[in-house]
Structure 1
Amino acid sequence: MDGGQNSAGCGSFERGSLEPGLKLGSKPGLTPGFAIAATILAVTLWGFSPIGTRYMVGSGFAGVPAMAFTGLRYTLAALVFSPLLWQARHWNRRDWALGLICGLVGVAGYNIPAALGQRSVSAGLTGLLDGVEPLFIVLFSAIAQRRFPAPLTIIATFIGLTGVVLLAEGSGPALGDPLGDALVLLAAMLWAIYCVIVPALINRRGALPTTAVTVMFGAIPMLLSGLPQMPDMLVSMTGEEWLVTITLTLGTSVIAMLAWNAGSAVLGAEKAGWYLYLLPVVSLIGGASLLGEPVRLWELAGGALVLLAVYLSQR
């Protein structure tokens, strides 16, 4: 990623250029309060996503091919968004190029390594590794804007990371291996880059068509990569596996993507990114409520530090 201006306009993102109201399509959209609500909705849905993905691709579970599953999931999402592509018919070449970059980096670039990594990395550990995304966003935002992060931002970053560490300590032994961990961290880094470059496009063209275009471009390489194994996977999937797939598609690939794009365009990459610290907290709550996992004192302390970091980041 280049912090300066390039042909796709990735370097044009500036916090000061963001509008107080977001254009979802062609009409004024979210206020800051609704943008925060949309961002929290997206993070909440994503917090439960590793459980479903791990169930589908993890060894010892359904064990479907990771690339075929990811390709199916985002092909379905692209079909859901396809009617909205009509709103992008007047885009110029610069916006199409930026949409392509965002789709490859944030959709395919995140989901391919994440799915491959989750074959050997537990859902809980995936949520904890995703907790470093706000740190990456702070770093890439500083590069894009050619500025050093504010002192309070640095303090909030370390408080949030401390909270993630406490959550990790409380989670007990977590399944993972170095390659799987590296793939999940690579996915987190690419998602952070997406978070920095996509708001400029959303503010110019609207959240609905931008989400449709980026999901379409991101789905293409995932479909091509998974196509060889997809026919066998489709005929062997059970009703329960189809239910998980459709739920993940609608919840995390459609609703969460749209909610995140809408919220982050109003809040800015950094302010929206802080809410990603809530991913491990959501995973903790999900594990306790759905799987009956015990909640320990240091996990509560870690969750409190995460919430404090999010609060400080908004000051």
Structure 2
Amino acid sequence: MRKPGVLAAGAAAVTVLLWASAFVAIRHVGTEFSAGALSLGRLLVGSVLLGVFVFTRPRRWPTRADWKLLLVCGLLWFGVYNLALNAAERHLDAGTTAMLVNIGPLVIALLAGILLQEGFPRQLVIGSIVAFAGVVVIGLSSSHGGAETWGVVLCLVAAVAYACGVVAQKPLLARLPALEVTWLSCVIGTVACLPFGPALVREVGDARVSTVWWVVFLGAFPTAIAFTTWAYALARTTAGRMGATTYLVPPIAILLGWLLLGESPAPLAYAGGALCLVGVAISRYRTAAAKPAVNVASPDSNPLSKS
């Protein structure tokens, strides 16, 4: 009886590790690929591999009404999120980026209070203030070896785009399998990034073979495989418990960034990141105690997201 629980925990661990590694891989690949070309390359690989999974099982195609939400999910979550994240990591180290993007669950709670009429409990307000203070602290950290203001802004754009995608996908998951929603959203994001096709072709020709393989890694592992392991684990536990695992992403990203890239956030950015995560934890307290209304996992720890 314990085997399914062990397998689910293992799948969740794989997902967290792969999404944390994505922050480091994007930082590395960003030296040879522009933000748009990297987004298109990753999404192309992810779309193909996810499509293989989708077409090997029975499918339930979306209705006409579903496509509106799918467009929001695909354009914002896979399109804008990836572009903003890739651009942000040209200014910020992987660890700082991971800490900033992980305010996404808090943004989801705020949007749910407005769009889904869930209200604004005291914990949400307090958590928002604490997390915003963390963003300010990171923004004030030194630009040399630390955070640049433009990078912070791009991370916030990525977090908001991800949050909008989560709110849009919530009703979709009640009618469609998570894998199909993920694949269709990924395809929509790929189509939106097609204008970067010429840049991708040019940069693939100029890049080192090892860097091109890192792009393939981003599409195959943090996108296709991690989405699958997340969906497997989510089907066997609660969304709140799975969402809590996303707090492991920033420290793992910081560790991998230090080991593989020899970089780490500025000391002041650590304090700001801690405030951001504490703010998210405070805002989630009531959600965990009361009825969960939305999946508040982070962008790199959700079956429909990408890093």
Asked if 1:70 corresponds to 2:33, the answer is no
Sort the Cα spacing of 1:232 and 1:120 in 2 relative to 1 into closer, same or farther, 3 A. same
- TM-score w.r.t. length of structure 2: 0.72
Q: Please name the residue that 1:230 is paired with.
A: 200
CA contact (8 A) 1:38 1:263 kept: yes
Q: Please name the residue that 1:56 is paired with.
A: 29
Mapped to 1, the partners of 2:115 and 2:241 lie a distance apart of 15
1:114-156 residue CA offsets vs partner (Å, 9 max, x unmatched): 2223223322321222132122111012123213243445556
- The DSSP-based 3-state class of the residue aligned with 2:171 is helix
CA contact (8 A) 2:130 2:275 kept: no
Mapped to 1, the partners of 2:111 and 2:241 lie a distance apart of 13
Asked if 1:314 corresponds to 2:288, the answer is yes
- The DSSP-based 3-state class of the residue aligned with 1:148 is coil
Sort the Cα spacing of 1:83 and 1:48 in 2 relative to 1 into closer, same or farther, 3 A. closer
Mapped to 2, the partners of 1:111 and 1:121 lie a distance apart of 15
Mapped to 2, the partners of 1:74 and 1:230 lie a distance apart of 12
Q: Please name the residue that 1:109 is paired with.
A: 80
Displacement after TM superposition at 1:43 (Å)? 3.9
Mapped to 2, the partners of 1:309 and 1:220 lie a distance apart of 36
Question: Unmatched 5+ residue regions in structure 1?
Answer: 1-30
Aligned-partner residue type, residue 309 of structure 1: A
Q: Within 5 Å, give how 1:159-238 maps onto structure 2.
A: 174-222=145-193, 224-238=194-208
- The DSSP-based 3-state class of the residue aligned with 2:103 is helix
Mapped to 2, the partners of 1:161 and 1:267 lie a distance apart of 28
Q: Within 5 Å, give how 1:1-315 maps onto structure 2.
A: 41-57=14-30, 62-86=31-55, 87-88=58-59, 90-154=61-125, 174-222=145-193, 224-260=194-230, 267=238, 275-290=245-260, 306=277, 309=281, 312=285, 314-315=288-289
CA contact (8 A) 1:100 1:217 kept: yes
Question: Unmatched 5+ residue regions in structure 2?
Answer: 290-307
Mapped to 1, the partners of 2:243 and 2:168 lie a distance apart of 13
RMSD: 4.0
CA contact (8 A) 1:160 1:309 kept: no
Displacement after TM superposition at 1:103 (Å)? 0.9
Displacement after TM superposition at 1:35 (Å)? 7.1
Sort the Cα spacing of 1:105 and 1:163 in 2 relative to 1 into closer, same or farther, 3 A. closer
Displacement after TM superposition at 1:84 (Å)? 4.4
CA contact (8 A) 1:42 1:259 kept: yes
Sort the Cα spacing of 1:40 and 1:309 in 2 relative to 1 into closer, same or farther, 3 A. farther
- TM-score w.r.t. length of structure 1: 0.70
1:75-112 residue CA offsets vs partner (Å, 9 max, x unmatched): 11111112345454643212233222211111112101
1:265-290 residue CA offsets vs partner (Å, 9 max, x unmatched): 8745x776555444322223324554
Mapped to 1, the partners of 2:199 and 2:138 lie a distance apart of 37
Aligned-partner residue type, residue 68 of structure 1: A
Aligned length: 279
1:14-66 residue CA offsets vs partner (Å, 9 max, x unmatched): xxxxxxxxxxxxxxxxx999878756643432222221111111xxxx33222
